Structure 1
Amino acid sequence: MTNADTTTTAAAAQSTTVRMTGRQVAALVVLLASQFMMAADFSVLNVALPEVGTALGFSTGNLQWITTTFALCAAGCTLVFGRVGDYVGRRRIFTTGMVVLAVSSLIGGIAESPAVLMVARTLQGLATAAVTPAALALLTTAFSEPSLRNRALGLNGVMMSSGFSVGAILGGVLTDLLSWRWAFFINIPVAIAAIVVVPIVVEESRAERRSRIDLPGAVLITGGLFAGIYGVTRAGEDGLDLVSVVALIAAAILLGAFWAVESRTADALVPVRILKKPDIALGNLAALFIFGGETALIFFTALYVQNVLGLSSLVAGLVLLGIGVGQVIAGTVGPRILQRVSPRTMLGVSLVLQGVFMLPALWATSDSRWLIPLIATQFVNAFFSMMAALCFMVIATSSVESDMQGMATGMATQSQQVGIAIGIPLVSAVFAASIGHGTVTTAEELTGIHLAIGMAAVSQIAVGLLLWLALRRKAAQQ
């Protein structure tokens, strides 16, 4: 055995015996609890959406803005808050974001009008944009030893998936037994606990090199996304009128300006040279459909169970639980699968199968007996959705040098948030165009849900096939 072999063996043996300190365990618990809460809050509110819409007077076509406004703010600001955290301190940004989350949740819980609720959702989106990258950065810096870091990141993925599952049940229980307002109030005690505990158990961390914050880039991409989503939504509701056309043109101009600014900015929010790498571009493209499609499916499943079948929020939560369980299982076994199958191959296959297992929802009727096959097919759909997400993370970061991993991870997070932001509006435009205006019958709403989910499924299958061919061709050229 050579000296190098001996050193490697000793290092491996040492890494397997490393244990977390008490402070690390405490930091892990509080940071994972925050991520769990973020995931749970998403499904809690999705289950409660029909009740919120009825209580505050949202139309069926505008209901998606409760989710979209949140996702839009998170999508546009994730990277810029990550940069701010590097500059002023990630722990400081985390606790500040938690303060904003607690305040905005209180505002949402006491809202008596759509306008107040939308203010709360805007602030919640900004808080999420601050907390999510800061929590991940604090997690990776708290666990510098590779085996401990991998274990912490693995637990982070499982907690976020299980948070969705628990949130689906919790949303139904809270809405049925108490009120939809508790979908907001439930965040407050967890946020307060994090604000108190994190400064005690988590050390502050900053980047060694402070770079300029790309505010123009953040403003342009947020404005461009908002204009584009509004234009698509308006066109779906009212047809391609002057307002929707102006919004879509404004989106094209703002996003074009964003590309131009990023091409000339040294400390760009999204470096264009990195986006030009095929793996990065294709991986992040896949994220738009993975998360956009899954979010739209969750949204319309909640509408189907409550508005078409006339069942309670609790039943809707139980149906969505199948999605959460499928994601948890995939998050657990996925890394082992990727040891045997190339992520490039698995990404396209998983995205195709995610779309395929949306298709059975097209045959859903107003008969509640359809719930069992719906839960079964959505469980499989969620499994492949999580597999696609795991592949996307590997591909989107594997071709970036080590000193750019933070940027690559931030871009991946941004793509997830953008997918969530545009998924529901695009599919909802099909739904809104189908149901038209005025009073909507159950049959009309069911037809709209069929068309919306069908469009999402076909899009995912087509993109999955294209990605599979493109990544296969790239692998053959190497």
Structure 2
Amino acid sequence: MGPGGVGCWLPGGRGVIVGADGSLPGKDTPMVSVVPTTTRRRLVLVVLLTAGFTLAVDFSILNVALPAIGADVGFTLDGLQWVATAFALCAAGFTPLFGRLADLLGRRRLFLSGMALLGTGSLVGGLATSPTALLAARVAQGLAAAAVTPAALSLLTTTFPEGAERDRALGLNGALMAAGFTTGAVLGGLLTDLLSWRWALFLNVPIAAAVLLAAPWVPAGTRSGARPRLDVPGAITVTLGLLALVFGLTTAGGRGWADPTALVALVLGAALLGLFPVVERRVAEPLVPVSFLRRRTVGWGNLAGLLAFATETSLVFLLTLYLQEVLGFSPLAAGLSFAALGVGTVLGGALAPRVIARLGATRAIVVGLSAQAAATLPLVLLGPTTAMVVPLLVATFAGGVANLVAIVGFMTTATSGLPDHEQGLATGLATTSQQVGITLGIPVMSAVVTANVHSSGAETAATVLSGVTAAIRVNALLAAATAVVVGSALRRR
């Protein structure tokens, strides 16, 4: 509740805000969030989780279909990467801006507008007959992800009270978000093989329509009584900085780290992001107050989340290379191999609230990332035969469980202890960490593989295997180092 007011329940589960003086709200009374009844909260949870899972699937659902898309729509080989990059650029680059707009304009309004954009963009993409139309549709989907994800997460954190109930909701959200990435690979292979890659886009249309029909059950969230101003200089700086950084990372992953375009983009992105705190100190109503970023739970919690997403999603990329380039699996068979990881992430999301209740969010991050590193490290023993496939499935299952414990610990850490009016800001940052992590991890690990392949001479199954195992070693060490550094920082008084 906002300051100076209390909540009362009316028959039928309706809520009303009563002022500190006993008055009822008038037309000029600022609206604050009201936690719905238990049944309604469950309906809200289903709507929000459905939207989040759908957007997580969209990150990877077209990856295995890229060759088919190129042949059907007319992409060149170099241009195919933009089917994935256009989505990731917009999803990561515009999330901080939309996270703040959710606080200023209304979370439900932004959430529903984003879902409408997702449905429209998916329909256009499914009908696309030219590269330009398909890329425009992927841009729309990325903007929809940037709008919907922080709005949905802030609606979730303001609908469920802080504590065990919110931890359970965040656990389910984290499980489905992570499972969505692996489900996208499986579903994309199935739809491409059985129907057409276009159905990977058409699938979003009825889902978006169903979520929009459920709009009356979605709470409005907190709305400020004043008319705040948007920090335009800060929004431009951080958005362009993230766009340049993500563009540079994806370009480097495809062309190598010596590529001039990638280097210029990375330097520009780093410069703009370095300038962002300076801009925020000079504006009256900053997009992200510097004091907010200095909170240990916000800063270190988001670093943990970024690296948790970066390591696990890039591991999926590395194992896809291994299964297809070394073992010769088909795209569909490779996608199905990640079912164990998907089951592990769902189980991890269910277990995470119990771990947090027992150990606390900080220790959950440390335990989760440490166990993830321990599950990942044995994969350096992968060989040129299928003898390690069963151990691979076991390791990815265990790593999925551990990764979700860390992710829910990060979400809890980064959003706890904050008032409702800052939840959009906090969840926008958390979502940015997630999406930048997903986008950052793959090109970094790809560069490790590429460097090892080039140092070994020609690209063969043996040199790819050597590069993949080297990158897996880096991946495991990065998860372990994150556990140590973030755990130490969050425990320090």
Q: TM-score range by the shorter chain?
A: 0.7 to 0.9
Once the two structures are TM-superposed, the CA of residue 204 in structure 1 deviates from its matched residue by 4.1
Q: Which among 142, 150, 173 is matched to residue 190 of structure 2?
A: 173
| Paired AA for residue 421 in structure 1 | T
Where 1:340 maps in the other structure, the secondary structure is: helix
**Alignment of 1:446 onto 2:465:** yes
Aligned residues: 456
Q: TM-score, normalised by structure 1?
A: 0.82
1:1-20 alignment, distance < 5 Å: 20=37
- Structure 2 distance, partners of 1:279, 1:20, is 30
Q: Distance in 2 between matches of 1:180 and 1:199?
A: 29
Query: Over residues 347-384 of structure 1, what are the superposed CA-to-partner deviations in whole Å (9 max), with x where a residue is unaligned?
Result: 23322332332233333234233321111111111111
Distance 1:244 1:94, change over 3 A: closer
**Given that residues 99 and 429 in structure 2 are in contact (C-alpha distance below 8 angstroms), is that contact kept between their aligned partners in structure 1?**
no
| Aligned-pair CA distance for 1:84 | 2.5
Q: Against the structure 1 CA distance between its residues 349 and 29, is the aligned structure 2 distance closer, same or farther, given a 3 Å change threshold?
A: closer
Measure the CA separation in 2 of the matches of 1:88 and 1:76: 19
Whether contact under 8 Å (1:292, 1:420) holds in the other structure is yes
Indicate the percent of aligned positions where both proteins have the same amino acid: 46
Deviation at 1:50, TM superposition (A): 6.0
Output the CA distance in 1 between the equivalents of 2:110 and 2:367.
38
Deviations 1:202-254 (A, max 9, x none): 35455124432233323222322232344345456255354344323322321
**CA 146–34 in structure 1, closer or farther in 2 if over 3 Å, else same:** same
TM-score when scaled to structure 2? 0.80
Between the aligned partners of 1:148 and 1:201, the Cα distance in structure 2 is: 19
What is the match of residue 73 of structure 1?
90
Over residues 116-166 of structure 1, what are the superposed CA-to-partner deviations in whole Å (9 max), with x where a residue is unaligned?
Answer: 443332221110111122233444556679887666555544544554565
Cross-structure match for 1:38 = 55
Partner of 1:135 in structure 2? Answer: 152
Kindly state the Cα deviation for residue 388 of structure 1 after the two structures are TM-superposed. Answer: 0.9
**Structure 2 residue aligned with 1:226:** 243
Show the 5 A alignment for 1:283-294: 283-294=301-312
The question of whether the paired residues in 2 share the 8 Å contact of 1:85 and 1:206 is answered with: no
Distance 1:193 1:270, change over 3 A: same
Q: Which moved more, 1:387-396 or 1:372-381?
A: 387-396
Q: Is 1:376 the equivalent of 2:415? A: no
- The reply on whether 1:466 has 2:485 as its aligned counterpart is yes
Separation of aligned partners in 2, 1:157 and 1:231: 28
Q: Which residue in the other structure is 1:282 paired with? A: 300
Instruction: Map 1:421-460 onto structure 2 (within 5 A).
Output: 421-435=439-453, 440-460=459-479
2:214: which partner in 1?
A: 198
> CA 1:222 to 1:445, structure 2 compared with 1: closer, same or farther past 3 Å?
farther
Task: Tell me the equivalent position of 2:339.
Answer: 321
**Cα deviations across residues 435-468 of structure 1 (Å, max 9, x unaligned)?**
4599954334333333333332222222222223
The Cα of 1:420 is off from its aligned counterpart by: 1.6
Aligned residues: CA RMSD: 3.4
Question: Which amino acid counterpart does residue 452 of structure 1 have in structure 2?
Answer: A
User: Residues 295-319 of structure 1, C-alpha deviation per residue, up to 9 Å, x if partnerless?
Assistant: 2112232333234333233322321
The answer for the alignment partner of 2:224 in structure 1 is 208
> Do the aligned partners of residues 357 and 103 (structure 1) sit closer, same or farther apart at CA in structure 2, a change above 3 Å counting?
same
Aligned residue identity for 2:48:
L
- The structural deviation recorded for 1:102 is 1.9
Q: 1:97 to 1:401 in 2, by over 3 A?
A: closer
Q: How many angstroms apart in 2 are the aligned matches of 1:399 and 1:23?
A: 24
Task: Tell me which moved more, 213-222 or 286-295.
Answer: 213-222
Q: After TM superposition, give the deviation of residue 87 of structure 1 in Å.
A: 3.5
CA distance in 2: counterparts of 1:53 and 1:360, whole angstroms: 36
Structure 2 CA distance, aligned partners of 1:58 and 1:443?
A: 28
User: What pairs up with 1:69-148 in 2 under 5 angstroms?
Assistant: 69-111=86-128, 116-139=133-156
Query: Partners in 1 of 2:471 and 2:300 — Cα distance?
Result: 25
In structure 1, C-alpha distance between the alignment counterparts of 2:161 and 2:301, rounded to whole Å: 26
8 Å CA contact 1:108, 1:121 repeated in 2: yes
Once the two structures are overlaid, the 10-residue window that deviates more, 246-255 or 137-146, is 137-146
Listed one character per residue, the Cα deviations across residues 157-198 of structure 1 (whole Å, up to 9, x for unaligned) are 454455456545433321221223322221122112223x03
Go from structure 1 to structure 2 and tell me whether the alpha carbon gap of 1:110 and 1:466 turns closer, same or farther (over 3 Å shift).
same
- Corresponding residue number in structure 1 for 2:3: none
The answer for the alignment partner of 1:389 in structure 2 is 407
Give the stretch that moved more between structures: 217-226 or 277-286.
Answer: 217-226
Aligned to 1:7: none
| 1:67-94 C-alpha deviation (Å, 9 max, x unpaired) | 4432332222223223323343333322
Deviation at 1:327, TM superposition (A): 1.2
Worse-matched range after superposition: 348-357 or 49-58: 49-58
| 1:260-312, Cα deviation, whole Å (9 max, x unpaired) | 11222333222211211223221111112101111211223233323433323
SS of structure 1 residue aligned to 2:288: coil
The structure-2 alpha-carbon separation of the partners of 1:368 and 1:174, relative to structure 1 and needing over 3 Å to count, comes to farther
**Unaligned stretches of 5+ residues in structure 2:** 1-12, 14-34
Contact 2:124 / 2:133 at 8 angstroms: preserved in 1?
A: yes
